């Protein structure tokens, strides 16, 4: 019974991260994370909790990929995040 519980919890934990992908050490604008990396706006708002940008619009933040399925180290872009042709080299 314990093994079945462990396997169920492991599957649930993995499926929560399965759709989210980003390249560690790369920077991303919110729109790219949402449109092509599997993140939701709620994920991006959650990444801001505890930071000085918690009440900012998630679309005005530059997110740094810390692990393949997570972002952090937010940077405020007062004039919006700027996309570039090269993945991971976004800037304010």
Q: 21-50 as b/e, with b when 16 or more CB fall inside 10 Å?
A: ebeeeebbbbebbbeebebeeebbbebbee
26 in a structural domain: yes
Domains: count for the chain: 1
| Predicted structure pTM score | 0.74
> One digit per residue, pLDDT tens: the chain, 92 residues?
443 333 333 333 444 445 999 999 999 999 999 999 999 999 999 999 999 999 999 999 999 999 999 999 999 999 888 877 777 667 78
Its domain, for residue 92, covers: 20-92
Sign of CA dihedral 17, 20, 21, 24: negative
66: in domain: yes
Q: Is residue 1 part of a domain?
A: no
4: in domain? no
Residue 48 forms part of a structural domain: yes
Task: Specify if 86 maps to a domain.
Answer: yes
């Amino acid at each position: 019974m314990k093994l079945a519980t462990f396997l169920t919890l492991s599957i649930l934990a993995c499926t929560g991260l399965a759709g989210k992908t980003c390249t560690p050490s790369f920077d991303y604008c919110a729109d790219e994370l949402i449109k092509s990396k599997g993140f939701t706006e709620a994920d991006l708002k959650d990444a801001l909790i505890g930071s000085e940008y918690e009440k900012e619009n998630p679309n005005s933040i530059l997110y740094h990929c810390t692990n393949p399925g997570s972002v952090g180290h937010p940077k405020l872009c007062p004039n919006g995040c700027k996309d570039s042709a090269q993945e991971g080299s976004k800037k304010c």
